[in-house]
């Protein structure tokens, strides 16, 4: 960490977005994480994505659980709403907030311990309910905050900093998310912003449960030769299936692609996801093929990254429940407290 | 990998940070200073309240901190990085004055002068800053220096030209005194009329520091008839300085747009001039005077009229009555060259009682005979080796305004240092063209994980103004200094604006794990990890554009992913956050201290 606040001065040519903000306006307090932590790079990527999407900071809610990863919302989007819940309980708080006010952009920020250990049930249910959110797990394979115990995503056979091997089967959150019905699933790496930023942008624009598993080396406890979540290991085994460009309506489409097949996926809100295929066999809209591919490459020891699955026809919890479109805080008393007659009517319908 | 790899052998080779000029250039102020004063070093000493030490850092480099702290042309300030980060540069010059104002007695810190001389005698002609610097550098080495000047007191134009309201006499006496007090033999009050004669006296070397002592004439109709009230600016100013003139007419016109004109008009304002105007041929913007000198003049109620070309001095019964001007406008041709063309409007007559002509200075060497072998070019300037200042007679060296025409004090000092090196080498029979390299060192400033031995918290204060004495007081007495200087509290706050550009970001490729932490934290987006490329290509695709070609790109060797680290030095705040965030110590903040070599044993090459 640093004790100094980041100086206010910025580059004189720093661009502004449609709202007149610079990227610096999307920053938060200075990070207290260990120097070099992958989580800080993810924060920087979130800042960049929100800036590029011209999101008004006060229309974003960031929610988290407990862990170094869950601390990061303090370090970005300082002007947004925030909720730091208890360990593993971010998904239910986020679900509640989303039900009450569907007009905010929801960022669920979690760790592999927070989501794959104590919060596994919460993770599963928020995904299968299709809560409209970006759920991002900053996956370092350890409980960073409590000094580096293996988490449930640590690979079997990988070792701790002290050389002790992990014997348990890892949980693959990506495969789980696809199986549980997430309509946008990606994996990325904190050390590759060129890949991560467009994925975050696309996931934010996605109207449904979007999940990103972002491998994020823990420099203090899990960046050693026996780790499979280290900078070196991930760089050596990273197999990106595609490269993504996100085109929001107003942006002109500038095509400067290296040769290779290009697929456009139009999302519900009109965003175009332009995918340059790096692996010709990979079809991110085919769920079964995606899962099969992931398992095959996983067996080969590769870390598959990129946009792994997207359902362009996704729906969300509100659509499923047919809830009122207006946020609860904007409904008047009459609508919120319809009175005895309305209650009698509901009761009667249930008799 | 992120899909980008090295582009074969293409791209910028890794930056050679062992070349002292690389980091020297990053210290913009020091690089721009002709004497290469270690500016941030003395600014930190001021912030620490160590005024005497700050003074001595200056004194070593620029010899006249108290004088320069009030009068320097300050080429460092337009170069200062702070001016690219926010509105205005650090008030470097006025901080120099702070060191001079608040120092203790520093006489015990001055170099010792050996009692046993080395047997070499050097003549210094002209007692201006150039010659005084030569004396300063040679006296501690045991030379016998003889200083000649036609004025009766040493100082050159510092004493004869710069008005007292900008530079009090005590300051001149003190700083000139440090040098003359080293035991320089003074032969003042008498012109040197013959170089041949001087050489015949058996001096081992002669340094010519006679400046550019002749004011340019303005030969217009009426000049001779009205001569009594038309004065050459620099002659008039020296008469004022030496107390021979203490009055001028009520209505005064100053012709010319340089700094001399500004000193003339402000002096006239103090000697009875009530209606003083500066009138220039060119446009206001193109005037040679520094912007702050123009501001100061206008602040004292002196209007500056432009695009008026003087045509004639009008007179009546032998008395000047005014000046007639032709109105002109600026026209530019396709190549952007400007010419002044008459607008065709009727001429303008401006009545006045006195005119001060400040249209330039010239060199004059009537006392240097052809037989001495000292040759001049067609502009009347001596033919010199530009690095050694040696003339075509190897015993003769030039420096200051006499070398390449009128400049300023700090250039005179810089020339003096170089000439002293040459004279020392010459007198010892060494090759004069061999120049001693500057002395430099890099030292880590790391004290703890987030602790540095410099203050890396960036102040967001805007430039502080130097307070002025009330104009009712200053306009009444020419000897009352206008600027009051910073008080210690303001000086501290101004010193804190300095970005410590000498505390360098030093990168070790082998240690970097490419975690991006430094690129993420950098408040000004200096750092990019990317595929190497040509300079033009790289400048366009860094995290922030790097359009300033005068500022270097710092390029690492190839990293593990095949990329390179590229740092644009342009607007780096030297905040050290990159080094604080780096988990492996691949970035370190190291103080680069470069000191110019001066004449002396330590820097001799054998
Ligand atoms: C009005 C005015 C204001 C200025 N203000 C500033 C300012 O604010 N800041 C700044 O940096 N610069 C200023 N300058 C410029 C600065 O004064 C000169 O650039 C600087 O003094 C040059 O130094 P020098 O050592 O070359 O010679 P000078 O200072 O010019 O000294 C030369 C000396 O040689 C003597 N001399 C000449 N010929 C002979 C001879 N034959 N025999 C004996 N002695 C001789 C002269 O009397 C003089 O004392 C100003 C100049 C003028 C005219
Ligand atoms: C209910 C509860 N149980 C246990 C803990 C102790 N605890 C704090 S953080 C943490 C693990 C965090 O791991 P992860 O989510 O991966 O975050 P990281 O620090 O690795 O980013 C645990 C077990 C707690 N705070 N609360
Ligand atoms: S900020 Fe300080 S060190 Fe940097 S150029 Fe300006 S005065 Fe010099
Ligand atoms: S010192 Fe480092 S972090 Fe600070 S501005 Fe310079 S490059 Fe950026
Ligand atoms: S913080 Fe250090 S290790 Fe990380 S990218 Fe920068 S220089 Fe490399
Ligand atoms: Mg973790």
Do both B598 and B568 map to the same domain?
A: yes
Q: In this predicted structure, what is the pLDDT of residue A186?
A: 97
Residues A178, A288 contacting (CB under 8 angstroms): no
d(CA B314, CA B348): 12
pLDDT beyond 60 at B525: yes
pLDDT band at B3 (very low <50, low <70, confident <90, very high): very low
Do both B134 and B24 map to the same domain?
A: no
Do both B171 and B89 map to the same domain?
A: no
Q: DSSP labels for B143-191?
A: -EEEEEESSSSS-THHHHTS-TTTS-HHHHHHHHHHHHTTTPEEEESS-
Instruction: Give the gyration radius of chain B's Cα atoms.
Output: 27
pLDDT band at A251 (very low <50, low <70, confident <90, very high): low
Any CB–CB contact under 8 A between B537 and chain A? no
Of B458, B520, B544, the CB nearest to A41: B520
Does a structural domain hold residue B101? yes
Q: Mean of the per-residue pLDDT values for chain B? A: 95
Does a structural domain hold residue B593? yes
Is the beta carbon of A114 within 6 A of some atom in ligand 2? yes
pLDDT beyond 80 at B605: no
CB < 8 Å to B2, chain A: 191-192, 194-195
Any CB–CB contact under 8 A between A226 and chain B? no
A122 Cα to chain B: minimum distance (Å): 31
Given B336, B356, B376, the domain boundary residue is: B356
Q: Whose CA is nearest to atom 4 of ligand 3?
A: B501
**DSSP 8-class letter at B295:** H
Do both B295 and B414 map to the same domain?
A: no
pLDDT tens, position by position, A15-40: 999 999 999 999 999 999 999 999 99
pLDDT tens, position by position, A51-109: 999 999 999 999 999 999 999 999 999 999 999 999 999 999 999 999 999 999 999 99
Give me the phi and psi of A277, to 5 degrees please.
Answer: -75, 130
| Ligand 5 mean position, distance from CA B571 (Å) | 19
pLDDT band at B604 (very low <50, low <70, confident <90, very high): very low
d(CA B288, CA B309): 16
| Ligand 4 mean position, distance from CA B406 (Å) | 40
Of B85, B458, B516, the CB nearest to A41: B516
Of B521, B523, B547, the CB nearest to A10: B523
Tokens at B12, concatenated: 């910028």
Q: How many residues would you count in chain B?
A: 606
Any CB–CB contact under 8 A between A72 and chain B? no
Tokens at B578, concatenated: 């990159």
Q: In this predicted structure, what is the pLDDT of residue A260?
A: 62
Do both B534 and B603 map to the same domain?
A: yes
Do both B443 and B527 map to the same domain?
A: yes
Do both B42 and B132 map to the same domain?
A: no
pLDDT beyond 90 at B322: yes
Q: In this predicted structure, what is the pLDDT of residue B338?
A: 87
Q: Do B583 and A4 touch (CB under 8 A)?
A: no
Do both B580 and B526 map to the same domain?
A: yes
Q: In this predicted structure, what is the pLDDT of residue B8?
A: 46
Residue B473 structural domain: 37-108+462-495
CB < 8 Å to B524, chain A: 9-11
Q: Do A191 and B515 touch (CB under 8 A)?
A: yes
Residues A209, A203 contacting (CB under 8 angstroms): no
Nearest CA in chain A to B527: A11
pLDDT tens, position by position, A303-335: 999 999 999 899 999 999 999 999 999 999 999
Please give the share of chain B, as a percent, with pLDDT higher than 70.
97
Tokens at B260, concatenated: 């001399």
Q: What's the mean pLDDT in A252-260?
A: 50
Residues B251, B323 contacting (CB under 8 angstroms): no
d(CA B333, CA A38): 59
Does a structural domain hold residue B456? no
ipTM of the complex: 0.91
Could you list the beta-strand ranges (E) of B99-156: 121-125, 144-149
Give me the phi and psi of B145, to 5 degrees please.
Answer: -105, 135
CA torsion sign for A185, A191, A194, A198 is: positive
pLDDT tens, position by position, B99-110: 999 999 999 999
d(CA A3, CA B385): 54
Does a structural domain hold residue B154? yes
| Ligand 4 mean position, distance from CA B84 (Å) | 15
d(CA A305, CA B203): 82
For A317-348, letters b (16+ CB in 10 Å) and e give bbeeeeeeeeeeeeeeeeeeeeeeeeeeeeee
Given B321, B356, B391, the domain boundary residue is: B356
pLDDT beyond 50 at B404: yes
Does a structural domain hold residue B433? no
Q: What's the mean pLDDT in B412-419?
A: 98
Does a structural domain hold residue B457? no
Q: What's the mean pLDDT in B133-157?
A: 97
Q: Do A3 and B450 touch (CB under 8 A)?
A: yes
Question: Any idea which of B260-264, B336-340, B482-486, B524-528 has the lowest mean pLDDT?
Answer: B336-340
Strand order in the sheet with A242-247: A242-247, A272-277, A262-266
Do both B220 and B306 map to the same domain?
A: yes
Do both B582 and B443 map to the same domain?
A: yes
Q: Do B571 and A40 touch (CB under 8 A)?
A: no
Determine the residue among A3, A11, A220 to mutate to test chain B binding: the one whose Cβ has the most chain B Cβ atoms within 10 Å. A11
Q: In this predicted structure, what is the pLDDT of residue B458?
A: 96
CB < 8 Å to B460, chain A: 7-9
pLDDT beyond 80 at B49: yes
Residues 2-41 of B with CB under 8 A from A: 2-3
Ligand number with the minimum distance to the CA of B504: 4
Q: What angle, rounded to 10 degrees, do the helices at B488-495 and B39-47 form?
A: 130
Model pTM greater than 0.90?
yes
Ligand number with the minimum distance to the CA of B571: 4
Tokens at B25, concatenated: 């250039």
For residue B262, what is the domain's CATH number? 3.50.50.60
The secondary element (H helix, E strand) that includes residue B208 is strand B205-208
Nearest CA in chain B to A195: B2
d(CA B133, CA B417): 6
B15 Cα to chain A: minimum distance (Å): 23
Q: Do A35 and B524 touch (CB under 8 A)?
A: no
Do both B201 and B266 map to the same domain?
A: no
CB < 8 Å to B86, chain A: 9
Residues B137, B420 contacting (CB under 8 angstroms): yes
| Ligand 2 mean position, distance from CA A147 (Å) | 10
| Number of domains making up chain B | 4
For B43-80, letters b (16+ CB in 10 Å) and e give bbbbbeebbbbbbbbbbbbbbbbbbbbbbbbbebbebb
pLDDT band at A282 (very low <50, low <70, confident <90, very high): confident
Q: Do B573 and A7 touch (CB under 8 A)?
A: yes
What is the atom index within ligand 4 of the atom nearest the CA of B576?
1
pLDDT band at A302 (very low <50, low <70, confident <90, very high): very high
CB < 8 Å to B577, chain A: 2, 4, 6-7
Residue in the structure block whose two tokens are 């927070």: A114
User: What residue ranges define each of the domains in chain A, with the CATH number in brackets?
Assistant: 23-349 (3.40.50.970)
Do both B592 and B445 map to the same domain?
A: yes
């Amino acid at each position: 960490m640093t004790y100094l606040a980041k100086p206010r001065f910025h580059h004189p040519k720093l661009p502004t977005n449609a709202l007149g903000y610079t990227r610096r306006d999307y920053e938060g307090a200075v990070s207290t994480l260990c120097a070099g932590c992958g989580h800080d790079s993810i924060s920087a990527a979130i800042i960049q994505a929100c800036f590029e999407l011209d999101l008004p900071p006060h229309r974003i809610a960031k929610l988290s659980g407990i862990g170094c990863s869950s601390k990061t919302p303090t370090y970005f989007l300082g002007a947004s709403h925030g909720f730091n819940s208890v360990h593993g309980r971010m998904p239910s708080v986020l679900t509640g907030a989303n039900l009450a006010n569907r007009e905010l952009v929801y960022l669920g920020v979690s760790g592999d311990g927070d989501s794959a250990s104590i919060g596994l049930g919460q993770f599963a249910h928020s995904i299968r309910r299709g809560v409209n959110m970006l759920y991002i797990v900053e996956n370092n394979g350890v409980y960073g905050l409590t000094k580096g115990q293996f988490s449930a995503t640590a690979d079997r056979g990988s070792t701790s900093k002290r050389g002790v091997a992990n014997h348990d089967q890892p949980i693959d959150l990506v495969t789980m998310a696809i199986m549980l019905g997430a309509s946008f699933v990606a994996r990325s790496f904190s050390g590759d912003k060129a890949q991560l930023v467009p994925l975050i942008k696309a996931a934010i624009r996605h109207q449904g449960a979007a999940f990103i598993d972002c491998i994020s080396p823990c420099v203090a406890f899990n960046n050693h030769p026996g780790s499979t979540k280290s900078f070196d290991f991930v760089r050596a085994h990273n197999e990106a299936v595609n490269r993504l460009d996100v085109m929001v309506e107003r942006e002109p489409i500038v095509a400067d692609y290296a040769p290779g097949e290009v697929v456009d996926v139009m999302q519900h809100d009109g965003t175009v996801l332009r995918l340059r295929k790096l692996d010709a066999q990979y079809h991110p809209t085919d769920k079964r093929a995606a899962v099969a591919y992931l398992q095959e490459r996983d067996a080969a020891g590769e870390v598959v990254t990129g946009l792994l699955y997207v359902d362009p026809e996704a729906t969300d919890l509100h659509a499923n429940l047919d809830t009122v479109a207006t946020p609860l805080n904007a409904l008047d008393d009459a609508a919120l407290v319809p009175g005895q007659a309305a209650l009698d009517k509901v009761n009667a319908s249930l008799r | 990998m992120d899909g980008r790899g090295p582009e074969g052998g293409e791209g910028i080779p890794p930056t050679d940070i062992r070349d002292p000029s690389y980091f020297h250039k990053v210290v913009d102020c020091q690089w721009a200073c002709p004497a290469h004063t270690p500016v941030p070093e003395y600014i930190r000493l001021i912030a620490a309240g160590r005024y005497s030490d700050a003074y001595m850092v200056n004194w070593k480099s620029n010899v006249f901190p108290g004088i320069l702290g009030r009068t320097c042309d300050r080429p460092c300030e337009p170069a200062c990085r702070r001016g690219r980060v926010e509105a205005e540069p650090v008030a470097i010059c006025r901080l120099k004055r702070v060191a001079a104002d608040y120092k203790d007695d520093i006489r015990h810190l001055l170099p010792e002068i050996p009692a046993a001389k080395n047997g070499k005698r050097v003549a210094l002609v002209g007692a201006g800053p150039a010659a005084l610097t030569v004396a300063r550098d040679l006296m501690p080495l045991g030379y016998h220096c003889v200083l000649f000047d036609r004025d009766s007191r040493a100082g050159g134009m510092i004493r004869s030209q710069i008005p007292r309201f900008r530079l009090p006499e005590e300051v001149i006496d003190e700083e000139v005194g440090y040098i003359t007090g080293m035991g320089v033999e003074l032969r003042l009050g008498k012109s040197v009329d013959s170089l041949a004669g001087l050489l015949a006296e058996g001096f081992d070397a002669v340094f010519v520091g006679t400046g550019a002592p002749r004011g340019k004439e303005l030969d217009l109709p009426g000049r001779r008839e009205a001569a009594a009230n038309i004065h050459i600016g620099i002659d008039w100013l020296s008469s004022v300085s030496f107390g021979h003139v203490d009055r001028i007419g009520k209505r005064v016109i100053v012709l010319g747009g340089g700094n001399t004109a500004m000193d003339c008009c402000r002096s006239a304002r103090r000697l009875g001039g009530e209606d003083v105007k500066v009138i220039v041929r060119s446009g206001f913007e193109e005037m040679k005077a520094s912007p702050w000198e123009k501001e100061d003049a206008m602040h004292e109620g002196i209007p500056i009229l432009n695009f008026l070309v003087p045509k004639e001095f009008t007179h009546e019964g032998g008395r000047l009555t005014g000046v007639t001007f032709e109105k002109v406008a600026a026209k530019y041709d396709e190549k952007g060259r400007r010419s002044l063309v008459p607008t065709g409007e009727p001429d303008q007559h401006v009545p006045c009682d006195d005119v001060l002509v400040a249209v330039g200075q010239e060199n004059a060497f009537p006392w240097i005979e052809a037989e001495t072998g000292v040759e001049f070019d067609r502009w009347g300037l001596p033919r010199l080796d530009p690095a050694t200042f040696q003339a075509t007679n190897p015993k003769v060296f030039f420096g200051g305004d006499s070398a390449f025409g009128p400049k300023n004090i700090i250039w005179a000092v810089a020339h003096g240092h170089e000439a002293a090196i040459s004279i020392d080498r010459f007198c010892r029979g060494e090759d004069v063209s061999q120049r001693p390299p500057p002395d430099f060192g890099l030292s880590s400033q790391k004290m703890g994980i987030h602790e540095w031995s410099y203050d890396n918290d960036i102040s967001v204060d805007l430039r502080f103004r130097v307070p002025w004495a009330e104009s009712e007081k200053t306009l009444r007495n020419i000897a009352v200094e206008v600027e009051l200087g910073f008080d210690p509290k303001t000086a501290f706050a101004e010193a804190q604006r300095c970005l410590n550009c000498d505390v360098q970001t030093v990168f070790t490729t082998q240690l970097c794990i490419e975690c991006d932490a430094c690129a993420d934290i950098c408040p000004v987006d200096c750092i990019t990890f990317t595929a190497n490329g040509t300079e033009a290509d790289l400048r366009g695709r860094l995290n922030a554009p790097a359009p300033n070609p005068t500022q270097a790109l710092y390029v690492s060797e190839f990293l593990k992913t095949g990329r390179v680290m590229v740092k644009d030095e342009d607007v780096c705040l030297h905040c050290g956050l990159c080094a604080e965030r780096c988990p492996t110590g691949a970035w370190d903040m190291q103080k680069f201290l470069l000191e110019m070599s001066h004449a002396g044993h330590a820097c001799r090459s054998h």
